Amino acid sequence: MSTATEPPRRADAVRNRRLALDAATALLTEPGVSLTVEAIAKKAGLGAATVVRAFGGKDALLDTAVSRLLEPVVQHARDLLAETTPTQALRIFLRELIAFQAAHYAINDQLGGLDLPATTALRTDLVRAVEEMIDGARRDGAVRTDIDLAIITTLIGQTALAVARAQPPSQELADAYLTVLLDGLRP
């Protein structure tokens, strides 16, 4: 095994790690922020060096923060698939996905050039779940079959992203997107 005997961490290091993560998460939901290490450090009440060290770099910190936010969303997608019909799951989940993106649009706005492996993996899981929903909804005759599956998931993902990009992201806009998208996806 490669489980290195990790040296025990000091209590303040553990606490600061949590403070840094909380601050980064909070900033992800705030529009118009710069999402710099300095800003995260100030929000957390720490020095910039401490924030960087806590996770081994800015990328790793944000990867963790975004993953924490994304994980329950992915889990809910899986739960919906188990609990209800694919068509119903698709409808419910799309609404949730759009709301999520609208609430955390800094996720898409500020994370351009960063390397976020955990987040990428979760996104893949999410796409897979949505594909399953669409596949089932097609069998139920609720979604058109003349457009490639991968194209539809891209379309859904980009649409949710598009809502988040609008200034400001409004509920009315989100509802309109959802309506047009779902109507447009019918056979």
Partner DNA sequence: TGACAACTGGAATGCTCATTTCACATAATC
Partner DNA sequence: GATTATGTGAAATGAGCATTCCAGTTGTCA
- Contact of residue 6 among its own copies, DNA, none (CB under 5-8 Å per partner type): none
Binding to DNA (CB under 7 A) within 49-78 occurs at 49-50, 52-54, 57-59
Give a three-class secondary structure readout of the chain: CCCCCCCCCCHHHHHHHHHHHHHHHHHHCCCCCCCCHHHHHHHHCCCHHHHHHHHCCHHHHHHHHHHHHHHHHHHHHHHHHHHCCHHHHHHHHHHHHHHHHHHCCHHHHCCCCCCCHHHHHHHHHHHHHHHHHHHHHHHCCCCCCCCCHHHHHHHHHHHHHHHHHCCCCCHHHHHHHHHHHHHHHCC
Q: Which of 33, 69, 118, 181 binds its own copies (CB under 8 A)?
A: 181
* Stretch 142-171: interaction string toward its own copies, x if CB under 8 A: -----xx--xx-xx--xx-xxx-xx-----
- Contact of residue 165 among its own copies, DNA, none (CB under 5-8 Å per partner type): its own copies
Binding residues for its own copies (CB under 8 A): 147-148, 151-152, 154-155, 158-159, 161-163, 165-166, 172-173, 176-177, 179-186
Binding residues for DNA (CB under 7 A): 7-13, 16, 34-38, 46-50, 52-54, 57-59
